[in-house]
Every structure is written in structure tokens, then in C-alpha cells.
Amino acid sequence: MKITGVRTFLMQAAPANSGKPSKNPVTAPDGSTPKLPGTRNWLFVKIETDAGIVGIGECSGWPRVVEKAIEDLSTLLIGEDPTHIERIAQKLQVAMMGHGMLGTVGGGALTGIDIALWDIKGKALGTPIWNLLGGKVRDKVQIYTHANSKEFALSAKARGFMAIKTSGGNGMLDPVRKVAKMRDLLGDDIDIAVDVHGPPWMTPQDAVQLARALEPYNILWLEDPISPDNIEGYQRIRDASSVPLAAGERVTGIFGERELIERNLVDVIQPDAGRAGGITQMKKIAAMAEAHHIMVAPHSGSLGPVAEYAALHLMASIPNALMLERMEDDWPGRRQTIVPHPEQENGFLAVPDAPGLGCDINEKFVADHPSPGNVSVPTKPMDERDEMGGEGRLYVQTRIKRAKFFSKGDE
């Protein structure tokens, strides 16, 4: 069996914001306003073979740019045996090496290709991908959803979710008070994770104070408390607080995740299912984490449904799978993008049993939602510094008004 063709499918999807419509729709290059607000794109790739078997994958890490990377790499795929997945992954990584260290664009391209190759191999052998990874450890995978309001939190609990994640960082003052209210609302039976999105304006000192203030609420994890560039800062937070830490969504492969795992800087590692390097790399990351008693909870908050399928197969086959992020409420079009659409039941997704990934995209629906852009443009001031010359849009900056950000959680 040989690879004969590579096709990409880029689409715009609604913003990943727990179902709330964007107030700031992006303007397309031609000056028009697209029918969907926001700048979130999904990129799917299909690899065709001379045996008539087609594999599907998904790529993240700046999808519009990744699409060009796939186009550039596709000439190296034609004529290859798609079942030799590791050999192809090594070949592509060496081909990209001259451009510098592998970043999320290269990682996104490798990911989509890798997932599609596993899909082909599973279909060729008539078995699900999880069976090629060593078989099942579990028949269903626990999922969590996002909730940033009382209504969404109660809805998630009513639908059977046993864990939710609430977001902090820029745009949310007083995260401790928010968590306190969530804990009172949901009780002790629901796990609560807190994501502050790795803000570069959050210093390690501030993150330590936040982590300590969250200790009484027994949260599941504190995610990306500082910028992912600041590895030493993670060590300082780790040494100063007992709150479980989670990180890893913004880097690629075993080399990107290595320090977080080997230095035991996190309790939960979160490779992004669309840019971590594919099922091949995520399996290796999971094994590294297992050796350090670190759990795996793949990031998929901005991803489409094909990457979700890939994560399900991985989590079915590894012992240290914690739970999978799922934006169930983000956009009704998600259901129309994929066939079949996985259904959650009591906070779990069933592991697919069909050969390969077990899914496909609706190509017409994807084509009906073209991408107008894929860059998040600031549309509102971060704080009053923006009104004083744009100081609020620096990548590294000093936090101000700390008293408004921190509280003891009481009224």
C-alpha cells in the first residue's frame, strides 16, 4: 500500500466560549463579516492510498499556517507505505529541522498526518486504533466541560458531568472568590479545575499567592498559572504550594513536555491532541508521565471533533489517563462536522469500536464554513494602561491592581 494523495479541509468554527456568542466578529480580508464570529479554525487532513483506504487527521497550532506546512510536506509522503508510521514521522521531523526547533506549527502538521496514518493502519487491519496501541484499559473515558457561570455549572452537573473547569486570568478578577462560589454551588462531589491561561503578566510570586489561596477548595488542578516559557517559575510555584499543577498544551512532542515531566513540575500533563505530534508522540508522552506518576488530561478546548476521537483512542489504551477536555456547548455545528458524533453519558464518552479512528467529516458542511482569518485581534482594553498608550498589550508586563485579583474567597 502506498500514499497517493494528501488533501486538507480548513473551516471556521464558532469561538470556544461555553456557548456564549462573540461580541466582536472578525472582519474578513475582503472587508465582509463572516456568518460565524471569532477566529477559531479547524483543519482536517485526509491521506489517500492506492488501496482505496483514506485516513483522516486533525491539525492545530495556527491552522491556516499549518495548512501550508501540510502542503509543503505532502511531496515527502507520496509513495510512502502509510503503515510505517514512526519512520514517516522521523522523516518529516528531519525535513523540518532546518527551519529551527519544532514548534506548534510543525507539530500541528505532524499531528494531522500521524493521526491519519494510524486511521489508515487501523482500517487496513480491520481494528480500532486503541487495539494497535496495546488494547483497552477502559471502555469509556471521563470528560469535563467548561463552566464560567452558575447556569453552565448547574447544567453540567445535571447532565452528569463530575468535573468542570472554570477560567481565570485576564478578564476574570477575583478567581478565588469565583472558585469559592463554584464549590458552594456544586458541593464536594464535583471536581473543579482552574485555568488561568498562562498569562505572561502573572509573575511566579502572584501565581504562588493564587495557588495558596486556592488550597482550601481542594481543586483538581491549577492550569497554566504562568507563561509556559517560565520553567523555573513552575519550580517556584511547585515548592511553595500543595495545589496540583497542570500544563503542557502549548508545546509539542516529548521534547516540549520533557522538563515538565522529568522535573516533576506538574501533576497533570496536557498535550494538545491537535499539535502534540499525533498519537505516536502522545503515547510516548503518556509513558514518560507514567514513569513519574503524572496523569494525562489532553487539551482539546479549541479543537474540532477528529482530534477528540484520536484522544479517546489514546486514553483508552494508557493506565494514567485522567480525563479529557470537551467543549460540548461551544457550537451546534460541531455535531454536523463529524459522523458519528460521540455522545456523552453521565460525564463519559464511549471508546469507539470501528476500525481506525471510527469517524469521518462532512466535507460539504466544512466547505460551507470557509476561514476568513485565524489571528486573535485584541478588541477591548486589558486595563486602563491601554488608554495610556497601549502599555496593556505587552507580552511581559507587571501586574497592577493586585488587590482586585486576589481575595480570600469570602463575601
Q: Which residues are catalytic?
A: 197, 299
Given a contact cutoff of 8 angstroms between Cβ atoms, the answer to whether 298 and 314 are in contact is yes
The DSSP result for 137-165, as a single string, is S-SEEEEEEE--SHHHHHHHHHTT-SEEE
Helices (H) and strands (E) in the chain, counts: 14, 15
Q: What 3-state DSSP class applies to 182?
A: helix
CA distance 77 to 91: 9
For 243: left if phi > 0, alpha if psi spans -120 to 50, otherwise beta; the answer is beta
- CA distances, 143 to each of 209, 310, 311 (Å): 29, 14, 11
- E strands along 183-238, which residues? 191-195, 221-223
- CA distances, 250 to each of 81, 223, 405 (Å): 31, 12, 25
Q: Which residue has the cell 498562562?
A: 198
Q: Which residue has the cell 471508546?
A: 351
Question: Around Cβ 173, how many Cβ atoms within 10 Å?
Answer: 14
Q: Which residue has the cell 486589558?
A: 382
Residue 397, exposed/middle/buried by CB under 10 A (0-12, 13-18, 19+)? Answer: middle
